[in-house]
Amino acid sequence: MSCFVIDSSISAAWCIPDETSETAETVLQRLGSDEALVPSLWIYEISNVLLVAERRGRITPADASRAVELIITLPIRIETADFRALDASRLLAREYSLSAYDAAYLELAQRQGLPLATIDRRLSSAATRCGVPLL
């Protein structure tokens, strides 16, 4: 079983029909045999994605519930945040013009030596520039 880091853009694409992507579907299929790792902020990001999509009429509350049911069945391991990530993610965010949230995914992938799965162009570019392989 291999492991990789996923960001919220990948997970959002599983949950919101108009954000579907081939990359997200490939990652979802890989979770049949592999495991994903996410920083603890991922839970809140996905919760917010679903909430905002509901408020904007992009999905129904039932769709959001089904998305949560899917997500909790997947082999996604949540890494608890610690102070090691504080400065490292801040520096990555500054160097690559990322939000602190996106830098958290990059920092985790970099620290763990894992590939990153994302469909966010800015985060993909930053990962490539700092030597983190993309899935």
Model pLDDT for residues 12-24, shown as the tens digit of each residue: 999 999 888 999 9
Burial of residue 57 (number of CB atoms within 10 Å: 0-12, 13-18, 19+): exposed
Average pLDDT of the segment spanning 21-37: 95
* Within a domain: 100: yes
Structural domain includes residue 134: no
In a domain, 14, yes or no: yes
Retrieve residue 116's tokens.
């990153």
CATH number at residue 56: 3.40.50.1010
> Does residue 119 fall inside a structural domain?
yes
Q: What is the 3-state secondary structure (H, E, C) of 6-71?
A: ECHHHHHHHHCHHHCCHHHHHHHHHCCCCEEEEECHHHHHHHHHHHHHHHCCCCCHHHHHHHHHHH
Per-residue pLDDT for 122 more than 80?
Answer: yes
59-105: pLDDT as tens digits: 999 999 999 999 999 999 999 878 888 899 999 999 999 999 999 99
* Domain assignment of residue 18, yes or no: yes
Note whether residue 135 is domain-resident: no
How many distinct structural domains can be found in the chain?
A: 1
Report yes or no on 57 lying in a domain: yes
pLDDT above 80 (res 1):
no
Q: Residue 115 falls within a domain, yes or no? A: yes
> Residue 85: which domain range?
3-129
Element (H, E) at 117: strand 116-117
Q: Specify the pTM.
A: 0.93
